[in-house]
Amino acid sequence: MRGPARYWRPWVFVNMPCSLEAIRGALNSFVSSAEGPDSVRVFHGRGRCYSGLEHVAVDYFAPTYVVTLFKDCGVAFEHTVIDCIYEVLGESVSLLLQRRFDKHSPFTWVSGRVEALFAQRGDHRFFLNTQSQNIGYFLDIEPARQWLEKNGSGANVLNLFAYTCTFSVVAKHAGAHSVLNMDMSSPSLSVGRRNHQLNGISTTDVKFFANDIFKSWGRLKRFAPYDIAVIDPPSYQKNSFIAERDYAKVLRRVNDMVSSSGYVLACLNSPEISADAFCTLLERELTEFSCEQRLPNSPDFPDEDEQKALKMFVFRKNSGGCSE
């Protein structure tokens, strides 16, 4: 018998919503080309490039593969995906499944359970949490981390909606002078502190404020000006942040907190708001800034419509010209 008895059965491929060849091919390609332990998205169905697999994602957090299902397609399909992974990677693979469509988005160990799970980025590691909906590290925002890595040296950085503070770790490693992290979630910021400690990064010039951003503008302004303001909010968080309603409010406040020639790195992962509409919003609200570029998305996250894909824009104060 292949794999744990409670997951594998001799499924007949009848009435499956799609072929799994795209997942199988992605796994084979990753295994043959992987050069190290860095965490990556192995298969991205969410970009609607693979018909019938729009609800499936496969990530790699060494040594574990994490399968996320965003839609309930039935137990048979779930088991078939798992069997496909066993076919390529072997039955002893460390495999974690998240049913994101479930109200509590539970994670279930399918095989090869590990005691501690980390995201790996070069020499850095970040704690992951399988007890919450979001695991604690967003792979798709990597182009923004790379931009900050290149531009953060000597900067005073404001990190809004900081979550587990990966931007802060990257900024400090790049030589940032200081970082102020603000997020409503105290537990997330606690993980952020641990991420700094895990990577041997001093928090002497790093602040962690567990506050409602919309009630904390005065506190943020006391530490201004900032050379870089990173804005990476959830697209929708009930009773907290709704992008269509609240993003503009954040931008208006940030206007006068950024130093002359400073940057705003504005991110949004909401397919409901197009890239053009988001850029228009930024241009309207960041009255003293001009667009420098839209950061290209990671090739690990293909999308049939770039207007709906993750949006990462760099605006600079008192500069000119926007280039894609």
pLDDT of residue 8: 36
Which residue in 138, 203, 130 sits closest to 166, CA to CA?
A: 138
Interior CA angle at 288 toward 278 and 312, to 5°? 30
- CATH no. for residue 90? 3.30.750.80
> Is residue 123, in this structure, part of any structural domain at all?
no
Q: Is 202 exposed, middle or buried (0-12, 13-18, 19+ CB in 10 A)?
A: exposed
Which domain, by its residues, includes 62? 21-115
Q: Could you read off the pLDDT of 103-161 as tens digits, one per residue?
A: 888 899 999 999 999 999 999 999 999 988 899 999 999 999 999 999 999 999 999 99
pLDDT of residue 323: 54
Q: Which residue has the tokens 């994101």?
A: 100
> Is residue 273, in this structure, part of any structural domain at all?
yes
Q: Which two tokens stand for residue 285?
A: 């609200």
Task: Indicate whether 58 and 192 sit together in one domain.
Answer: no
> Is residue 3, in this structure, part of any structural domain at all?
no
> Is residue 16, in this structure, part of any structural domain at all?
no
The amino acid sitting at 283 is E
Task: Indicate whether 105 and 215 sit together in one domain.
Answer: no
Task: Indicate whether 188 and 307 sit together in one domain.
Answer: yes
Task: Indicate whether 91 and 165 sit together in one domain.
Answer: no
Torsion of CA 274, 138, 166, 214, to 10 degrees: 50
Alpha-carbon distance of 33 to 157, in angstroms, equals 36
> Is residue 5, in this structure, part of any structural domain at all?
no
Number of H helices and number of E strands within the chain?
Answer: 8, 16
pLDDT of residue 1: 29
Task: Indicate whether 47 and 145 sit together in one domain.
Answer: no
pLDDT of residue 253: 95
Task: Indicate whether 144 and 111 sit together in one domain.
Answer: no
Task: Indicate whether 145 and 109 sit together in one domain.
Answer: no
The residues near 289 (Cβ < 8 Å, ≥ 6 apart) are 255, 258, 264, 282, 315, 316, 317, 318, 319
Q: Which two tokens stand for residue 55?
A: 């609800």
pLDDT of residue 3: 38
Task: Indicate whether 66 and 201 sit together in one domain.
Answer: no
Instruction: Count Cα atoms within 13 angstroms, Cβ side, for 207.
Output: 17
> Is residue 165, in this structure, part of any structural domain at all?
yes
Task: Indicate whether 181 and 312 sit together in one domain.
Answer: yes
pLDDT of residue 306: 96
Which residue in 263, 324, 264, 320 sits closest to 297, CA to CA?
A: 324
pLDDT of residue 320: 54
Number of domains composing the chain: 2
Residues of the chain with pLDDT under 50: 1-17
Task: Indicate whether 230 and 267 sit together in one domain.
Answer: yes
pLDDT of residue 64: 97
> Is residue 309, in this structure, part of any structural domain at all?
yes
Q: Which of 115, 131, 154 is the last residue of a domain?
A: 115
Task: Indicate whether 206 and 270 sit together in one domain.
Answer: yes
Q: Is 104 exposed, middle or buried (0-12, 13-18, 19+ CB in 10 A)?
A: exposed
Task: Indicate whether 25 and 143 sit together in one domain.
Answer: no
Alpha-carbon distance of 272 to 283, in angstroms, equals 19
pLDDT of residue 160: 98
> Is residue 9, in this structure, part of any structural domain at all?
no
